[in-house]
Amino acid sequence: MVNTSLFYRSLFLCPMYTVLTGPKSPESSLLRYWMSFPLRTLLPLYKDKTTPAAVMKRPYYLQEPLHQIKQLFESSILMQGNPMVHRKTYNHWILEVTTTGKLEILRPNLDWPRIWKETAALPSNIRETMFLFNQRLLPTRTRCHRLDPTKDVTCPICNQDPETDEHLMFQCPERLTV
C-alpha cells in the first residue's frame, strides 16, 4: 500500500525544488530569498551567496522542505543539475519506514530479497495474496471464525485440518499443486 503522507510530501517537494532551481519568476525569487543561503553549498546557482538574505526567522513551512532537500543531497537522491523525481524521493523515504513482515521474522533463513524480486514479476492479484499471507491477513476460515463463530474452521477442500495460513499455503494436499 502507498504511504500517502510520504507520497504527498514528495509530490509537494518536487515542484518546490523545480521552482527553486528553475528560471527567475516571482515564486522562485521568494523561495530563493528564504532558502538560498542554507543551500549555497549544494546548489551552484547560489554559490556566490555569502550572507543570509533574511534577517528574520525563516517561515516554519519552509524549514521542513529545506531539511528534506539537504537530506536528499546527502543520500545522493538529488544531484546538482538533475531534476527531482518524486518517485525516487518517495522510494527513498519509504525504505526508511518499511518493516519486516511477520512471516519474514518467523522464517529468517529464506532468501527474502530473491523471493520479493520474483514476486514483483507476478500478476497483481498473486502479489496481493503474497502480501496478505506475509502479513497474516488472508481471509482463511480460521480468521473468519474469530469474526463469526458460526462458521466451520476446517478446510473445505481436504476436510482434514483447520484452514490456517500455513495450511492454506503449504500443508493442504489438495492445494499443494497450486
pLDDT of residue 92: 86
> Do residues 154 and 111 both lie within one domain?
yes
> Do residues 165 and 109 both lie within one domain?
yes
| Residue range(s) defining the domain that contains residue 114 | 102-171
Mean pLDDT of 53-72: 78
pLDDT of residue 178: 46
Mean pLDDT of 145-173: 73
pLDDT of residue 151: 62
Count of structural domains, the chain: 2
- Domain for residue 55, yes or no? yes
- Domain for residue 178, yes or no? no
> Do residues 78 and 120 both lie within one domain?
no
Contacts of 44 (CB under 8 A, 6+ apart): 80, 81
Dist CA 171 CA 157 (whole Å)? 12
Average pLDDT, the chain: 77
pLDDT of residue 150: 54
> Do residues 86 and 29 both lie within one domain?
yes
**What are the φ/ψ torsions at residue 154 (nearest 5 degrees)?**
-80, 155
Q: Cβ distance 145 to 112 under 8 Å?
A: no
- Domain for residue 52, yes or no? yes
Confidence of residue 56 (pLDDT cuts 50, 70, 90): low
Dist CA 62 CA 53 (whole Å)? 14
135: its cell numbers: 502479513
